Homo-oligomer: A and B are copies of this chain.
Amino acid sequence: MSARPSLVNLEEAEARAAAALGGPTFDFVAAGAGDEVALGRNRAAFRRWCMVPRALRDVSEIDTGTTVLGQPIPFPVLVPPMGLQRIVHPKGECEMARGVAAAGTIMCVSTVSTRSPAEIAATGVERWFQLYLFEDRAITDDLVAQARDAGYGALVLTVDGAVIGRRDRAIRSGFAFGPDIRIPSVGPALGLPEGGDPIALGGMLARSTTWEAVGRLAEAGLPLVVKGILDAEDARLAVEHGAAAVIVSNHGGRQLDAAPATLDVLPAVVEAVDGRAEVLLDGGVRRGTDVLTALALGARAVLVGRPVYWGLAYGGAAGVREVLDVLRAEIVEAMTLLGRRSLAEIGPEMLIKEAR
């Protein structure tokens, strides 16, 4: 790579991506639903918490490591499923995978990837496979088989995608897919035309499927993660239907614009799950201190999406790794300043609400 100065923070990754991409592509990725209220809420929720440092503790060694579903990761950040990565990089999800692997964490591979599950697996990245419930159950079963065959470590079922939310900013910007965008995982099976709009896939998602389908998926032989939970009762249902983890998510503010901030509903979900499954969170995480705030409120780890996508856009695998490395370094710095040596020492007692 050139002599570009190193990345200062994740916000800068967005600025670099904006410069590297055309406006419509940038807007397609950046946009939230509607008036982008949920998008703003996700960020604002983190600002309402303060963390109180403890002084003069031994912080000569900081350990940011944890496990998710029993799998060790060097810091509590995963990469969530994000589709269509060839719109920002010619090698798409394979390039992303190399960056995530370099950073040492887990990549959730989207069904709507432009590279096949097997191609992505071949990079060697630690990987989970995200899928939807399709109206045609054979499609879902085939996706599970692909994931199992390609050595994915878990299934991530997205449950907030009964329809694809309208993202006004992206519509106005006029983004259009290029002819080279294909979805190998399900495109042929669904009969999606080559070079057609992959969003057409949205029309084939199951809208009548209910929790029973989750139960079946949980028995498919891979740990099941349910992504898109905002309601405590839904978290309970997920656990009761076999989920090993839930991801508190409002889809990065891209689905229901009236949705609450994920951090605001996290405590209720944690309480409902009551230790029977792991609770992850995404939405608005941009700083190492954000990661720790989510953990202090009960998340086991978080997922960071758009910043990593921006890394792919401006710098390929190196950009992805740089974004994740900056975030990891911020976690180390914050733990040092907080006087916490390990994530086991991160808890609610270090938080106070911002005074108003």
**Chain A residues in the interface with B (C-beta under 8 A):** 8-9, 11, 34-35, 37, 41, 45, 47-60, 159-160, 162-163, 165-166, 168, 171-172, 207-211, 213-214, 226, 228-231, 233-234, 237-238, 255-261, 264-265, 287, 289, 292-293, 330, 333-334, 336-339, 352, 354-356
Contacts and interface: CB of A to CB of B under 8 A. Distances in A.
Nearest to A174: B5
Contacts of A256: 51, 53, 289, 334, 337-338
A79 B238 CA distance: 42
A258 B287 CA distance: 10
Contacts of A56: 159, 209-211, 213-214, 234, 237
A35 B330 CA distance: 12
B165 A333 contact: yes
Contacts of A334: 256, 258
A287 B333 contact: no
A49 B258 contact: yes
Contact of A260 (B228, B257, B336, B355): B355
Contacts of A260: 50, 52, 352, 354-355
Given A51-B258, A55-B226, A163-B333, 7 more contacts: A51-B256, A52-B231, A53-B230, A58-B207, A58-B208, A264-B355, A265-B352
Contacts of A45: 355
B356 A60 contact: no
Contacts of A41: 50, 354
Given A50-B259, A51-B256, A60-B207, A160 B37 contact: no
Nearest to A164: B333
A210 B213 CA distance: 54
Given A47-B37, A54-B234, A289-B34, A8 B172 contact: yes
B55 A258 contact: no
Contact of A162 (B172, B234, B330, B337): B337
B257 A165 contact: no
Contacts of A8: 168, 171-172
Given A35-B287, A355-B48, A53 B231 contact: yes
Contacts of A230: 52-53
